């Protein structure tokens, strides 16, 4: 049965954002397809935060759709490009139109060329030529402008053979004379061989550039992921610094308020005393006025001595007391603190900038040296064998209490975690796992990272990684480590291990794995789990494509304890 063919045009495989052939095609919910990088960049620079729309039909998606490569479209695109290349390579180049050598005025298109006459003829003149040289050995060939190149300069015969020994075209007489004993084949056969070699070389060259382009795209993603991880860590550190400053600010405010309450209380006591004395003075004044209205002089003189006015100046609070001096000096002290903090921050920022510049120069130097070296470079995703190899990429992890399930209890400066029967008094937080006894580490990871954990207890543990936006609420698979498309985990117990990802599991017969090593290569797209003992024993390795930084995560069974190893 003949295979059905469908006529397609190159424009059907173009991205409407970059207007080029699709690279790593993804299809969004509305059905339109784009390059993975193009649609991500388009959504990242949109003006409406939280709104993700299609560049063509403007349909809005909220939340952001999960992007994954359209494998069917990608394979179809690769076959289309390969067929185009092969078709163009196999199709012979159309020669320029050869003109008749005999025509004098308007030269007609030549139909044949004569190797003996070294001329080309149109159809009418070709008939004349055949009539003139009828019965004579005049060899006709398809019309060509390069007649002399087709004849042997020594024997004036057609070059029908190719001498592979001396790599040149020869005639039948050359094979009998100067090229006797050499390997000679028909020119058509040699042309087919050389053409096949050139096509294979061309395909290899195209594939090499394609692989190089893919590698550069991975490098770009790696740089972006690394920068995102560093930015996130810096934001976390600056947030802690801001919280520390806010705490100090609250303490200073409370100190001022305590002094204020003491001073105000003292002043209010004096105010009440003065108010009592002022009320007594008003009563005496009323008595005096009453006595002044009497006409009895004897009565006035006998009772006027009972009227007494307090004339002593009341004691006022001193503005030189410590609390008042504090008010005067506090503003100057805070100004000095701000100036000192600004100087410290500027000094540390310059120090960090210098380190980044040094690292950049070192990377540039390394890249330059690698470009000068021959093809002896070790591949980026080369296998690591010994524990010392892995420890080169050791990453000191820290558990994030804001993500911990309430039934998890921290120990050993938040490097260890245990599941309890009673919930802990953790404050509410949107990042906290509400149902599963899980916790994540603080910073996202990109590039090459390695870490180790130890665990004990009968409840078992899960060790893995996940994207930041994995669900945290509810008891479904969306929020369980390893049971969705956004996370990967190794479930460990004394009976054995099981690798979990997106509701698919792989059973691993490896008992007594109390120390687990995890190696992540984000750029190469590999995640490996090892049993760390006298030697590194690979438990499971998964090959995937990470689209963003990942976070180390853990599930701890009831009665089990997990601890991050400090190396």
Q: Are 308 and 427 contained in the same domain?
A: no
In this structure, is residue 247 part of a structural domain? yes
Q: What is the pLDDT of residue 509?
A: 81
Q: What is the pLDDT of residue 357?
A: 65
Instruction: Read off the CATH number of the domain in which 508 is found.
Output: 2.60.120.920
Cα 390 to its chain centre, rounded Å, is 22
Q: Are 66 and 44 contained in the same domain?
A: yes
Which domain covers residue 159, as residue numbers? 112-188
Quote helix, strand, coil % in the chain, to nearest 5: 40, 20, 40
Q: Are 416 and 558 contained in the same domain?
A: yes
Q: Are 547 and 413 contained in the same domain?
A: yes
Q: Are 541 and 431 contained in the same domain?
A: yes
Could you read off the pLDDT tens digit of each residue along the chain, which spans 567 residues? 444 455 555 567 777 776 667 888 999 999 899 988 888 888 887 565 667 888 888 888 888 888 888 888 888 888 877 776 666 555 444 446 778 877 766 677 888 888 777 788 888 888 878 877 776 777 777 777 666 677 787 887 778 889 988 889 998 888 888 888 888 899 889 989 999 999 999 999 999 888 888 878 877 877 777 777 778 778 878 888 888 888 888 888 888 888 788 888 888 888 888 888 888 888 888 877 877 888 877 777 777 777 766 666 666 766 555 555 565 566 677 777 777 878 887 787 777 777 666 655 655 555 555 444 433 344 444 678 888 889 999 988 889 999 999 999 999 888 999 999 999 989 999 999 999 999 999 888 877 899 999 999 989 999 999 999 999 999 899 999 999 999 999 999 888 899 999 989 999 987 678 899 999 998 888 999 999 987 889 999 999 988 888 999 999 999 899 999 987
Q: Are 442 and 463 contained in the same domain?
A: yes
In this structure, is residue 1 part of a structural domain? no
Helix boundaries (H) for 434-526 = none
Q: Are 447 and 473 contained in the same domain?
A: yes
Q: Give the integer Cα–Cα distance in Å for 98 and 143.
A: 6
Q: Give the integer Cα–Cα distance in Å for 217 and 41.
A: 14
3-class SS at 21?
A: strand
In this structure, is residue 105 part of a structural domain? no
In this structure, is residue 356 part of a structural domain? no
Report strand pairing: 536-543 vs 168-170.
unpaired
Nearest C-alpha neighbor of 33 from the set 57, 7, 9:
57
In this structure, is residue 95 part of a structural domain? no
Integer angstrom CA distances of residue 349 from 227, 243, 252, 327, 362: 17, 19, 27, 33, 20
Integer angstrom CA distances of residue 205 from 31, 199, 439: 34, 10, 48
Q: Are 177 and 220 contained in the same domain?
A: no
- The total of structural domains in the chain comes to 4
Helix boundaries (H) for 91-186 = 123-132, 172-176
Kindly provide the residue ranges of all beta strands, DSSP E only, lying in 247-380, ordered along the sequence: none
Of 85, 100, 131, which residue sits at a domain end?
Answer: 85
DSSP collapsed to 3 states, 345-390: HHHHHHHHHHHHHHHHHHHHHHHHHHHHCCCCCCCCCCCCCCHHHH
Instruction: Read off the CATH number of the domain in which 161 is found.
Output: 3.30.160.60
Q: Are 143 and 179 contained in the same domain?
A: yes
Q: Are 127 and 212 contained in the same domain?
A: no
Of 289, 317, 345, which residue sits at a domain end?
Answer: 317
Query: Can you say whether residue 66 is alpha, beta or left, with left for phi > 0 and alpha for psi between -120 and 50 degrees?
Result: beta
Q: Are 67 and 169 contained in the same domain?
A: no
User: The whole model's pTM is what?
Assistant: 0.46
**Count of other CB atoms within 10 angstroms of residue 28:** 21
Sequence-separated (6 or more) residues with CB below 8 Å from residue 464: 481, 482, 487, 488, 489, 490, 500, 518, 552, 553, 554
Q: Give the integer Cα–Cα distance in Å for 410 and 404.
A: 9
Q: What is the pLDDT of residue 363?
A: 54
159-167: which pairs have CB atoms within 8 A and are 24 or more residues apart? 159/187, 160/186, 160/187, 161/185, 161/186, 161/187, 162/186, 162/187, 162/189, 162/190, 164/190
**Count of other CB atoms within 10 angstroms of residue 386:** 9
Give the CA angle between residues 391, 392, 395 to the nearest 5°: 70
Q: Give the integer Cα–Cα distance in Å for 519 and 526.
A: 8
Q: What is the DSSP letter of 111?
A: -
Q: What is the pLDDT of residue 376?
A: 38
In this structure, is residue 364 part of a structural domain? no
Q: Give the integer Cα–Cα distance in Å for 43 and 304.
A: 95
DSSP collapsed to 3 states, 23-89: CCEEECCCCCEEEHHHHHHHHHCCCCCCCEECCCCCCEECCCCCCCECHHHHHHHHHHHHHHHHHHH
Kindly provide the residue ranges of all beta strands, DSSP E only, lying in 116-238, ordered along the sequence: 119-121, 140-142, 161-163, 168-170, 184-186
In this structure, is residue 346 part of a structural domain? no
In this structure, is residue 327 part of a structural domain? no
Of 317, 347, 362, which residue sits at a domain end?
Answer: 317
Q: Are 427 and 559 contained in the same domain?
A: yes
């Amino acid at each position: 049965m003949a295979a059905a063919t469908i006529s397609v045009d190159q424009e059907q495989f173009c991205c409407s954002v970059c207007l080029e052939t699709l690279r790593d095609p993804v299809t969004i919910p509305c059905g339109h397809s784009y390059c993975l990088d193009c649609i991500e960049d388009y959504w990242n620079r949109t003006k409406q935060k939280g709104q993700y729309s299609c560049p063509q039909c403007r349909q809005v998606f909220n939340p952001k759709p999960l992007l994954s490569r359209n494998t069917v479209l990608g394979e179809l695109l690769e076959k289309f490009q390969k067929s185009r290349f092969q078709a163009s390579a196999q199709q012979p180049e159309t020669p320029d139109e050869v003109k008749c050598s005999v025509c004098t005025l308007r030269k007609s298109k030549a139909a044949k060329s004569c190797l003996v006459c070294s001329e080309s003829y149109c159809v009418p003149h070709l008939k004349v030529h055949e009539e003139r040289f009828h019965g004579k050995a005049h060899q006709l060939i398809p019309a060509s402008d390069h007649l002399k190149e087709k004849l042997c300069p020594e024997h004036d015969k057609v070059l029908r053979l190719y001498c592979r020994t001396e790599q040149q075209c020869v005639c039948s007489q050359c094979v009998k004379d100067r090229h006797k004993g050499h390997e000679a084949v028909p020119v058509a056969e040699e042309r087919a061989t050389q053409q096949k070699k050139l096509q294979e070389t061309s395909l290899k060259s195209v594939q090499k550039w394609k692989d190089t382009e893919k590698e550069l795209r991975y490098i770009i993603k790696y740089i972006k992921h690394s920068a995102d991880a560093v930015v996130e860590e810096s934001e976390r550190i600056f947030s802690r610094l801001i919280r520390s400053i806010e705490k100090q600010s609250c303490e200073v405010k409370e100190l001022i308020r305590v002094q204020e309450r003491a001073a105000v209380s003292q002043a209010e006591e004096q105010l009440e005393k003065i108010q009592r004395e002022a009320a007594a003075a008003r009563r005496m004044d009323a008595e005096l006025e009453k006595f002044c209205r009497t006409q009895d002089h004897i009565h006035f003189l006998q009772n006027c001595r009972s009227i007494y006015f307090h004339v002593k100046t009341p004691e006022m609070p001193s503005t030189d007391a410590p609390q008042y001096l504090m008010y005067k000096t506090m503003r100057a002290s805070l100004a000095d603190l701000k100036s000192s903090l600004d100087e410290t921050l500027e000094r540390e920022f310059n120090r960090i900038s210098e380190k980044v510049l040094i690292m950049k120069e070192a990377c540039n130097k390394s890249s330059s040296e690698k470009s000068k070296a021959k093809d002896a470079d070790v591949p980026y995703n080369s296998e690591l064998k010994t524990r010392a190899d892995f420890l080169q990429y050791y990453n000191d992890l820290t558990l994030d209490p804001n993500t911990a399930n309430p039934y998890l209890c921290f120990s050993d400066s938040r490097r260890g975690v245990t599941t309890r029967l009673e919930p802990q008094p953790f404050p509410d937080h949107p990042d906290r796992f509400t149902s599963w006894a899980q916790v994540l580490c603080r910073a996202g990871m990109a590039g090459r990272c390695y870490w180790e954990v130890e665990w004990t207890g009968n409840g078992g543990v899960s060790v893995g990684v996940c994207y930041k936006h994995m669900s945290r609420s509810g008891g479904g698979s969306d929020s369980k480590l390893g049971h969705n498309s956004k996370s990967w985990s190794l479930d460990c117990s004394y009976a054995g291990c099981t690798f979990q990802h997106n509701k698919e599991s792989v059973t691993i017969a490896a008992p007594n794995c109390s120390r687990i090593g995890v190696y992540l290569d984000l750029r190469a797209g590999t995640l490996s789990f090892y049993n760390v003992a006298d030697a590194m024993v690979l438990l499971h390795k998964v090959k995937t494509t990470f689209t963003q930084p990942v976070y180390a995560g853990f599930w701890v069974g009831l009665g089990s304890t997990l601890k991050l190893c400090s190396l």
